[in-house]
Amino acid sequence: MKWKEERIIDAPIEVVWTLFEEENAQRIMPKVVENRWLEKKPGILGSTYEQTYQEGKRKETYVVEIIEFENTDDRKHKRIQFRLAGAFEMNLLFTLERLNEKQTKFIYAGSNTGINFVGRAMLKLGNKKAGDKVVTDFLDRVEQEAMADYTVSSN
């Protein structure tokens, strides 16, 4: 499964970018219940952290690696990779581009690949509409949180 979606957010790039700091993960990913740095490297690239995700009563902990990182005035980009439940390899890309002082283009792309029979079977049987809804819900959450922060900071 692959996706790439874009959205214009009416908030400055720096306001949106703070949502992608590991310490703020729960704001945009409510099922993430903990992030704990394992190795935080200078410049962040290659850093790893342990993330715990909870779905109902089931908790899953895995190691996330930051494999791409860019932080300039006009462009912010982070690509993370992790294996989930021993069945999926997840690649998530978050890119922000400054449109002007008050608007940011948010590009969310990624892939979910089955790494064994179970993972491949689950993806084949999965509902594309449900997958699309997860992506749309994430875009909505990022936009809502960024707008809330910008409204607070501009008053």
CA distance 55 to 69: 28
The pLDDT value recorded for residue 80 is 97
Q: What is the pTM of this model?
A: 0.91
Distance (Å) of CA 127 to CA 16, 56, 63, 112, 117: 30, 20, 26, 13, 18
Question: What's the pLDDT tens digit per position in 122-146?
Answer: 888 877 787 788 899 999 999 999 9
CA distance 11 to 134: 22
Question: What's the pLDDT tens digit per position in 92-110?
Answer: 999 999 999 999 999 999 9
Average pLDDT across the chain, whole number: 93
